[in-house]
Amino acid sequence: MRINLVPVLLSLFIIFNLSAIAVSETAETSIFFNTTSQWLQFRANSNQTTIEFSIPTIIAAVLSFFAASISSAGGIGGGGLFISIMTIVAGLEMKTASSFSAFMVTGVSVANVGCNLFVRNAKSGGKTLIDFDLALTLQPCLLLGVSIGVICNRVSPNWLVTSLFAVFLAWSTMKTCKKGIFYWKMESERAKVGSRKGDEDEGGARSPLLSNEGEDEGREIRFPWMKLGVLVIIWLLFFSINLFRGNKYGEGIISIKPCGALYWILSSLQIPLTIFFTLWICFSDSVQSSHTSHNQDNEREIGDARRSHGVRTDKFMLPLMALLAGVLGGLFGIGGGMLISPLLLQIGIAPEVTAATCSFMVLFSSTMSAIQYLLLGMEHAGTAAIFALVCFVASLVGLMVVKKVIAKYGRASIIVFAVGIVMGLSTVLMTTHGALKVWDDFVSGRYMGFKLPC
């Protein structure tokens, strides 16, 4: 009987080789975990509450410049990117990085609002590009949702927050990119129709961002000063509650027991305040969202059933969306603009109106955070102001670039893709950072269950 040794030797070689690979992978995995633990321990020891002029600081400023430029195009604050940059690159601890992020988002928002405040939208009869009606409908529930989300963040373990953040933001990024592709195709069809008509309707594919030029120069902008005043009043009321309440350590303008009865009473005042303003705004006949209805009529995928319900149905749906976005924003520690922007795009709000309105709303929340940090004794306010100035300039540059690109190609979908890029980068950076923090808690033997709010 003749035995062929080639298959036998080949099988033995494969078995021994696979065993060696398995041992090697086990060793590499062990080395990876040891290296990760050492890196986390190094970051924990190197995290600081102050920032100094150094090469990492310069790199952080450059990265923040590019992050602000991209974020300004989408009308969102970019807090997820700023926190990641300040913790990973500049080496700041999370609390200090959050305070820096509040100032940097404020710089981006001021530039955005300053550029969009007096830009008229030709599709809404000369109104400003910022939809003040939409902002009025969203703002109270968004502020309440942030407060609820912060409490949920204190109670929930890090692994749960990181998992929910990764799933939700990945889903939002995917939906935003799909929406961007839809707008891109719709703009391409409009461009083809315009070219067939001898370019007589060429301006139809252009973004309303450019509607302050040309034929609309002689028209007067109808600026809603009363609605702006109501928004400021809402902001002042919520800010006063947060100012008197202070944080969970009792740090505020008045001395109260940390997480005592007065603390929770002041916190609960936000609920009736939100209900009052939301109902008053929803039932007010003077609050109408022409941007919503106009854009819904233009989108064929929305369907006739959507258009038949009118604006009143949207008014009741939008506060619930804002509440959800605020809760998730407070839970994940990021601004509500990054979460409310994809939701507005999904219900049919035009990209340029979404960007302008979200940046306007982010201005209220970011200034509230920045002022609170100042009143609670922020030590590095000067350096934070410098970073805010860098982001302000970067935002202006980003807006100029996007405006020229839209003017050249007539595609407002660029704004949607900018939102998707910021959300995608934030998903990768913040999820990775959160996963490493969860691993550090696991290897250190820390408690990883639910906690009390105080």
**Cα separations in angstroms, 214 against 120, 219, 328:** 12, 11, 42
How would DSSP label each residue in 195-239?
HHTTTTTGGGGS-GGGTTSGGGTTSPPB--HHHHHHHHHHHHHHH
Instruction: State the amino acid at position 173 in one-letter form.
Output: T
Distance, in Å, from the CA atom of 298 to the CA atom of 274, rounded to the nearest integer, reads: 32
The pLDDT of residue 269: 93
> What tokens were used for 153?
């963040």
Instruction: State the amino acid at position 14 in one-letter form.
Output: I
The pLDDT of residue 234: 93
How would DSSP label each residue in 97-139?
HHHHHHHHHHHHHHHHHHHHTT-EEGGGTSEESS-HHHHHHHH
- Pair 121, 128: CB distance under 8 Å: yes
Contacts within 8 Å (CB) and 24+ apart, 41-48: 41/440, 43/91, 44/440, 46/91, 47/87, 47/91, 47/92, 47/93, 48/91, 48/92, 48/93, 48/96
Distance, in Å, from the CA atom of 343 to the CA atom of 317, rounded to the nearest integer, reads: 11
Cα three-residue angle 364-365-368, rounded to 5 degrees: 85
Distance, in Å, from the CA atom of 358 to the CA atom of 423, rounded to the nearest integer, reads: 14
Instruction: State the amino acid at position 255 in one-letter form.
Output: S
Distance, in Å, from the CA atom of 440 to the CA atom of 47, rounded to the nearest integer, reads: 15
Tens digits of pLDDT across the chain (454 residues): 444 444 434 344 333 343 333 333 333 334 434 444 444 444 444 455 566 778 888 999 999 999 998 888 777 878 878 888 888 888 887 778 888 888 998 999 999 898 888 777 666 555 778 888 889 989 999 889 888 888 888 888 888 888 888 888 888 888 888 888 988 988 888 888 777 665 544 444 444 333 444 444 445 556 788 888 999 999 999 988 888 887 666 666 777 777 788 888 988 999 999 999 999 988 876 665 444 444 444 444 434 433 433 444 456 788 988 898 888 877 876 766 777 888 888 888 888 888 888 888 888 888 887 887 787 667 788 889 999 999 999 999 988 888 888 888 878 888 888 888 888 888 888 888 888 888 988 898 888 888 877 6
Q: Three-state DSSP class for 152?
A: helix
> What tokens were used for 353?
């109106």
Distance, in Å, from the CA atom of 376 to the CA atom of 102, rounded to the nearest integer, reads: 14
Strand pairing partners for 128? 120
Distance, in Å, from the CA atom of 253 to the CA atom of 245, rounded to the nearest integer, reads: 8
- Pair 432, 147: CB distance under 8 Å: no
The pLDDT of residue 390: 94
Q: Three-state DSSP class for 83?
A: helix
The pLDDT of residue 42: 43
* Burial zone of 73 (CB within 10 Å; 0-12 exposed, 13-18 middle, 19+ buried): buried
The pLDDT of residue 304: 41
- Pair 115, 210: CB distance under 8 Å: no
**Cα–Cα nearest to 223, from 358, 119, 354:** 119
The pLDDT of residue 216: 47
How would DSSP label each residue in 387-408?
HHHHHHHHHHHHHHHHHHHHHH
**Cα–Cα nearest to 241, from 149, 361, 140:** 140
